[in-house]
Chains A and B, each alone.
Chain A
Amino acid sequence: ILNVEQSPQSLHVQEGDSTNFTCSFPSSNFYALHWYRWETAKSPEALFVMTLNGDEKKKGRISATLNTKEGYSYLYIKGSQPEDSATYLCAPLGDDKIIFGKGTRLHILP
């Protein structure tokens, strides 16, 4: 896995609105996909680990889906809150190697 793309790079969302963003990766030699949330001045924090095509994971208002055949994962946030402001990183694992995307920087507007 060499090329991990996350889009958009940056996103401004009104508080209360729902949003989603994308992680794209080459589908060959895929093993697992990790999503992390990284708040400013804090450590990156694991959200989900996904392995199976069609996987859906949910944690509170945040959920994620995985399509390993076409090489993408979506992260959804329902009813955005100020505490959701962070950078969301995806990291697919393949060939015993984990590669991080650049992240999507989410800003929640009051």
Chain B
Amino acid sequence: DAMVIQNPRYQVTQFGKPVTLSCSQTLNHNVMYWYQQKSSQAPKLLFHYYDKDFNNEADTPDNFQSRRPNTSFCFLDIRSPGLGDAAMYLCATSNSLTDTQYFGPGTRLTVL
């Protein structure tokens, strides 16, 4: 089945220790998104890739970076995680910016 896969589902890291979250898709979609969702809040878009074009949201901290080495994979790098970065991180894909998004199951990040 075509799908969006996120690994790992649960990630624990230490304060200040770099961490990378992974997303892959078999849908061959052009757009890949990363969202951060904290408890009881709306998912917040961090950035998206349209093909190889990277689009950063204005209020996304520099601590968050992303890489998309090919159509199928997209990574979220948190360079120096703080306690406030503990959240659910959702990856999504779509064929265009206006189309339905297909989400992965998310990675729950804990920062100790």
- Chain A: residues with CB nearer than 8 A to chain B? 4, 31-32, 34, 36, 41-46, 49, 89, 93, 96-103
Contact = CB atoms under 8 A, between A and B. Distances in A.
8 contacts: A4-B42, A43-B104, A43-B106, A89-B43, A99-B45, A100-B42, A100-B45, A102-B40
Interface of B: 4, 35, 40-45, 90, 92, 97-106
Contacts of A46: 100-102
Contacts of A102: 40-42
B110 to A, nearest CB: 16
Contacts of B103: 36, 43-45
B39 to A, nearest CB: 11
Given A31-B98, A44-B90, A46-B100, A89 B42 contact: yes
Contacts of A98: 45, 97, 101
A44 B40 CA distance: 15
Nearest to B92: A44
Contact of A93 (B40, B43, B92, B98): B98
A44 B100 CA distance: 11
Contacts of A101: 42
Nearest to A93: B98
Nearest to B9: A41
B102 to A, nearest CB: 7
B71 to A, nearest CB: 20
